[in-house]
């Protein structure tokens, strides 16, 4: 008999940890230097909160995507891979969400270089998806203006020509994956399984049905880099679960040529952890909130004239009970 076995035998046991709790603890650890002590609420308050959740039913407010301001985070000791792993852990621990519609609200930004100046165009781009009601889109011009004061002066010198000759920016809402066969929500949440699934629906590079990719060049390479090329659709245009999105981050981080970089700033000034492919001046980045693991932005830089930079800046993403518009709109 072991020592004090009586105590071990008699005193109440502890139920095993649920997966989400363990993942949250793991993420808190890997989040590292940041101390975020959870307040221990009295049971009465917890019970009241549980009741109010029942009353409010399935309402889930899609969170506003914020990014980190860096003020509360010490990053020096934590390598980028660990930051990404922690962010993915936190994202994976999120429930799939409920609501009638899955909404992705983002701003498209594009810089176009003319011989004399560069124009920045912005469009609001909202996608609504529902298994019962199909898809709706809302696209509207936000602005078109010379990018910098120097560009503005050059534009005036050129006679202030119309800046909106390319205002209808790319916005394909179809996917290169056969997700109608396997709904996006049912994609695997385990990285290896997800990668295998994606590779199983790999579309040959010359298929005319492939729309121009956000990252067109990536599609014309190996199956693995094809996954990189397809990832914007999975992140921006498909109602993938948080767990699948987290798994996708891990798959992408393991692809040849993809590296993880910390403290990357998106075009709206939000700091995150980035998956980066290529190098400037041709660089593609998926920027992720280092706290929540939510997608902040997808950006690409190109060299030469024409479009030199494009960004998809996410404002909101997730299931909601907000009503979708009756019809799609484009302006």
Q: Name which position in 19, 40, 223, 230 contacts another protein (CB under 8 A).
A: 40
Task: Quote the CA–CA distance of 72 and 34 in Å, as a whole number.
Answer: 7
Rule CB under 8 A: is residue 24 a binding residue for another protein?
Answer: yes
For residue 9, what are its two tokens? 């035998």
76 binds another protein (CB under 8 A): no
Per DSSP, what are the bridge partners of residue 68? 271
Do 138 and 147 meet the contact criterion of CB atoms below 8 Å apart?
no
Among 8, 165, 168, 186, binds another protein (CB under 8 A): 8
- Encode 20-64 in three state secondary structure: HHHHHHHHHHHCCCCCCCCCCCCHHHHHHHHHHHHHHCCCCCCCE
* Least separation in angstroms between CB 156 and another protein: 53
Question: Which region among 81-89, 132-140, 169-177, 249-257 touches another protein (by CB under 8 A)?
Answer: 81-89
Choices 4-12, 49-57, 123-131, 260-268 (CB under 8 A): range interacting with another protein: 4-12
- Would you state the structure tokens that stand for residue 235, as one six-digit string? 């992140």
Cis check for the bond before 299: say yes or no (omega within 30 of 0): no
21 binds another protein (CB under 8 A): yes
20 near another protein, judged by CB under 8 A: no
Give yes or no for residue 208 binding another protein (CB under 8 A): no
Asked if 72 touches another protein (CB under 8 A), the answer is no
**Which stretches of the chain are DSSP H helices?**
5-10, 19-30, 43-56, 80-92, 149-157, 191-200, 223-236, 242-253
Residue 33 binds to another protein (criterion: CB under 8 A):
yes
Which residues sit at the interface with another protein, rule CB under 8 A? 2-17, 21-22, 24-26, 28-33, 35, 37-38, 40-41, 43, 46, 77-79, 81-82, 85
């Amino acid at each position: 008999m072991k020592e004090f076995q009586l105590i071990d035998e008699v005193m109440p046991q502890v139920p095993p940890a649920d997966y989400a709790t363990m993942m949250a603890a793991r993420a808190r650890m890997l989040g590292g230097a940041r101390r975020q002590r959870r307040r221990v609420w009295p049971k009465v308050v917890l019970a009241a909160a549980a009741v109010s959740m029942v009353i409010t039913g399935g309402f889930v407010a899609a969170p506003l995507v914020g990014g980190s301001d860096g003020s509360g985070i010490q990053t020096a000791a934590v390598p980028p891979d660990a930051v990404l792993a922690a962010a993915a852990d936190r994202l994976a621990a999120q429930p799939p969400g409920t609501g009638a519609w899955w909404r992705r609200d983002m701003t498209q930004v594009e810089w176009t270089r003319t011989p004399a100046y560069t124009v920045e165009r912005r469009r609001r781009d909202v996608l609504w998806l529902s298994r019962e009601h199909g898809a709706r889109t809302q696209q509207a011009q936000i602005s078109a203006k010379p990018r910098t004061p120097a560009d503005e002066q050059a534009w005036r010198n050129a006679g202030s020509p119309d800046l909106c000759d390319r205002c209808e920016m790319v916005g394909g809402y179809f996917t290169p994956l056969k997700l109608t066969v396997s709904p996006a929500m049912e994609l695997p949440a385990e990285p290896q399984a997800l990668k295998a699934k994606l590779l199983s629906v790999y579309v040959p590079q010359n298929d005319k049905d492939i729309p121009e990719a956000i990252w067109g060049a990536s599609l014309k390479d190996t199956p693995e880099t094809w996954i990189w090329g397809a990832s914007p659709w999975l992140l921006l245009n498909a109602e993938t679960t948080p767990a699948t999105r987290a798994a996708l981050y891990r798959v992408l981080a393991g692809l040849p040529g993809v590296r993880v970089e910390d403290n990357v700033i998106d075009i709206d000034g939000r700091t995150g952890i980035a998956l980066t492919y290529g190098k400037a001046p041709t660089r593609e980045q998926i920027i992720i909130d280092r706290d929540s693991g939510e997608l902040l932005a997808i950006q690409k830089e190109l060299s030469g004239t024409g479009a030199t930079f494009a960004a998809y800046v996410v404002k909101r993403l997730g299931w909601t009970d907000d009503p979708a518009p009756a019809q799609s709109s484009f302006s």
